Structure 1
Amino acid sequence: MTPERTSWPAILMAVGAGIAAAFQVGKAPIALPFIRAEFGLDLSLAAWILSIFALMGAAAGAGMGTLVTRLGSRRLLPVGLVILALGSLAGGLLPGFSGLLAARVVEGIGYMLVVISAPALITLLTTPTQRQMAFGLWGAFMPFGMAVSMAAAPSLPLVGWRGLWLGMAVLLILYALLVHFRMPRPPRPPSPLESHVLRDVADTLRAPGPLLLAATFIPYSATYAALTGFLPTLLIERMGVTPGTAGLMAALVAGVNIIGNVATGPALRLGLPRRKVMAAAFGIMALGCLGIFQPWIPPGAAYGLCLMVSAGAGLLPGCILGAASVYAPRLTLVPVTLGLFMQGSNWGQLLGPVVVGAAVSAWGWSSASLVLTMAASGGILLALTLRRAGKEP
């Protein structure tokens, strides 16, 4: 069950799969102005391009975790990449807005398979002493993937948003082939004969911690998805920059999230309680969001606050995802626990842009500060409640 040493090349390949999946999250914000122009959408309707990607994960994340448990993370990781590719291909070819939304749902299914299978593989391919370090790297998959994807913004006037969708489909197919042929096969946890999908989910929900950690993921992902999703639009409207420049500036905001991701492992190895690290990250988010969207804050200062919020928030994914092997009721249920965590994350991704988009459309950008500050403040309370789970000091 536990390898004698950590397979770091395989860990990096798993993280690379997550990065390729995160490209599909990052491509939407930079393409949003072009999609709005093509289909004539207001901000509240266009927000669904960002949010509907998370629909299936929000509805069935834990159930998809049981699928990974039964069929194996090594088998389903390339399958998830292929499904992502098919969704991106369909989105680039279908003519109407409804077709684009349906394609984003398909992409969301593939994304969930990737982000459950890859960390499940990391759990099986690492030694316990190096597992948190590996999950610190895994926690960087989203900001790194989003940053690289957003950096393609200057090319959009040339290739168009449909060209970006088609190019991503090709990239995903190539990476799926790499994983299929080169990813080592880890020891597979034995699945009890009496195991059942509903029983696996019920056992995970009854265990102290997993449901609370999943709930804690909601305010983080809601804030991060809304901030990075609308940032290019905000920069264009408030600072008057070109879409290409706005995409690069948003890419930097997404990228500095890696600072917090990488700091997670050392912080926990120093003995800092997980709940306090998480509460501190939410506190940074709450303070920053108070000012980002206020009209009286100079644009340069608002952008600096975006960088601060993203960097501080980066502590959260590694803390939460790295806790799967600690809080899962048994090792065979780590994929189910990860699925539950990602279900919480997807609820945040689903609700954050839609709620913020509706608030901005109704009351202006300053209303986003209130929504996101309340979400981050709720995260502080959830993080501190983790002490009741009793798994860690």
Structure 2
Amino acid sequence: MIALVYLAGVSAGVALGRFVPLEAGIRGAFGLSLAAYGWLVSGVTVVAACLALPTGLWIVGRDLGRVLCAGLGVMLLGGVLEVAAPSGWLWLLYGARALEGVGYLAVVVTGPMLLAARCRPAVERRALALWSTFVPVGMAVASALGTLSGTVGWRAAGALTLVPGAVGLGGALRWLTGIRGRPEERYVPHRRGLGPVLQLSLAFSLVALLGVTAVALLPKLAADREVRSAVGGATAAVVSLASVPGGLLAGGLLGRGAGPRALTATAVLGMPCAAAVTYQVNAWAAVSAGAAVLQFAGGFVLGALYASVPSVARSPYELGRGYGLLNQAGSVGTLLGPPVFGFAVTRAGWASATVLATVVTLGGLVLFLAATRRPGPSGP
């Protein structure tokens, strides 16, 4: 069951990263600027950025397996329309991307709820830690398949990225339908504000922004460094995976009782240095290493943030609402990152990417420390 749910998540990650290695073909066929291309890359998260929180609350108590299947089906339909859109039909391309976003939302919100409903407590933490890696793994698969675009064309390479979703849909229809959330997921809201949960979600949004953006800009960076597009695509695939061991390491250390504040602060402070190497050095080997370190540290931080939600939630209802808000905030970061960085690079060069990465990481660190600080002792 865990494998099927994770495959659904990876399919969502593939959808998110489908156009990253296809930049040259997509921009040539539709006449997209770098900023417009960035909106296309992150456009799948538009719906999630707006509706993840209410969707998470609506799904509670429903047939989670059927919701997941519906999400996979809608996501597949959107993907088919994207790769079949005639050149120049921007309305169809962006409309299909938004439709795919509806399916993406259903998958990413329902996945962890399915794991929580069926996993034993001893397995649940590890399963959720694994789930937190679905975006980089999916983007790596998309980047690897995208390297075939030079041989078979961008449309055929894009069509290959639909295969994981089709396989996941078949398995979900067979084995996951009929699963509902636990009775205790019918939370009763309380009157206290979001507080630390909101701060943690905003921190998650800022760090998630950097991970997707770093991978999305690698093909452009490769072109500017006069590196072959196939090498740039392969680098993006490998770099995407660097965040996976980071997330799993965070889960392992936190599961053994390590303090999240010191670990997260150390990882966050290393991210601006890695960004400087990635965006300012000319040697492609150094660029690749810097991007990999940036992704590893980002994966570690995201894993720690995801695992910290129970420690800052003040009621069962806030826990459920917190994970919904975390998904929504992460989607906002994923949505805004590529176009904002793309616009800055177009106007001010790659140095602007380093400055933005530094500001974003430090902002995320401040929010995380504020969310997880212990309240002082009460006065007499």
Shared fold (TM-score, shorter chain, > 0.5): yes
Deviation at 1:352, TM superposition (A): 0.9
Instruction: Give the % identical residues.
Output: 26
Deviates more, 1:305-314 or 1:37-46: 37-46
- Per-residue deviation at 1:325? 4.9
8 A Cα contact 1:276 1:384, kept in partner = no
CA shift in 2, pair 1:204/1:146, >3 Å: farther
Secondary structure at the aligned position of 1:322 is classed as helix
Q: 2:15 matched to 1:24?
A: yes
Note if 1:149 corresponds to 2:135: no
Residue 167 of structure 1 is matched in structure 2 by 160
SS at match of 1:206: coil
Sort the Cα spacing of 1:79 and 1:316 in 2 relative to 1 into closer, same or farther, 3 A: farther
Matching residue of 1:365: 350
Q: What residue in structure 2 maps to residue 260 of structure 1?
A: 246
2:259 to 258, 273, 276: 273
Secondary structure class of the residue paired with 1:13: helix
Matched, 1:113 2:106: yes
Partner of 1:221: 208
The alpha carbon displacement at 1:311 in A equals: 1.1
Tell me if structure 1 keeps the 8 A contact 2:61–2:180.
no
Check whether the contact 2:61–2:181 (CA below 8 A) recurs between aligned residues.
no
Query: 1:274: how far off?
Result: 2.4
Match of 1:137 among 130, 142, 157: 130
1:52 aligns with one of 43, 50, 65: 43
Corresponding residue to 2:364 among 379, 386, 390: 379
Inter-CA distance 126–164: structure 2 relative to 1 (3 Å threshold)? same
Q: 2:94 aligns with which of 101, 108, 128?
A: 101
Displacement after TM superposition at 1:326 (Å): 4.9
Q: Aligned partners of 2:337, 2:193: CA distance in 1, in Å?
A: 27
Amino acid at match of 2:240: A
The offset of 1:87, in angstroms, is 0.7
How has the CA–CA distance of structure 1 residues 184 and 89 changed in structure 2, closer, same or farther, with 3 Å as cutoff? closer
Partners of 1:57 and 1:343 within 8 A in 2: yes
**Contact between 2:243 and 2:295, CA under 8 Å: does it hold in 1?**
yes
Residue 273 (structure 2) aligned to one of 287, 292, 303: 287
What's the CA shift for 1:304?
A: 1.2
Q: Is the 8 A contact 1:214 1:340 kept in 2?
A: yes
TM score, norm. by length of structure 1: 0.87
Q: Which amino acid aligns with 1:87?
A: G
The answer for the alignment partner of 2:171 in structure 1 is 178
- Give me the TM-score of the superposition, normalised by structure 2: 0.90
Distance 1:205 1:236, change over 3 A: farther
Give the stretch that moved more between structures: 334-343 or 131-140: 334-343
Aligned length: 373
Structure 1 residue runs without a partner (length 5+)? 1-9
Q: Deviations over 1:62-120 (max 9, x none)?
A: 01111221424222111111111011011122221221111111111211111111111
Using the alignment, how far apart are the partners of 1:216 and 1:245 within structure 2? 32
* Partner AA of 1:376 in structure 2: T
Question: Where in structure 2 are there 5+ consecutive unaligned residues?
Answer: 376-380
- Asked whether the 8 Å contact 1:208–1:389 carries over to 2, the reply is no
Q: CA deviation at 1:324?
A: 4.6
Distance in 2 separating the partners of 1:191 and 1:380: 33
Contact 1:223–1:352, Cα closer than 8 Å, also in 2: yes
Q: Write the distance in 1 (CA, Å) between the matches of 2:185 and 2:177.
A: 24
Residue 25 of structure 2 corresponds to 34
Quote the Cα distance in structure 2 between the aligned partners of 1:233 and 1:221: 20
Q: Residues 100 and 388 of structure 1: is their aligned pair in 2 closer, same or farther, counting only changes over 3 Å?
A: same
Per the alignment, do residues 154 and 388 of structure 1 end up closer, same or farther by CA in structure 2, a change over 3 Å counting?
closer
Shift of the 317–125 alpha-carbon distance from structure 1 to 2, 3 Å rule, reads farther
CA RMSD of aligned residues (A): 2.4
Q: Is the 8 A contact 1:22 1:141 kept in 2?
A: yes
Q: Retained in 2: the 8 A contact 1:204–1:329?
A: no
Runs of 4+ in 1 over 6 A off after TM superposition: none
The 1:377–1:154 alpha-carbon spacing in structure 2 relative to 1, beyond 3 Å, is same
Contact 1:69–1:335 (8 Å) recurs in 2: no
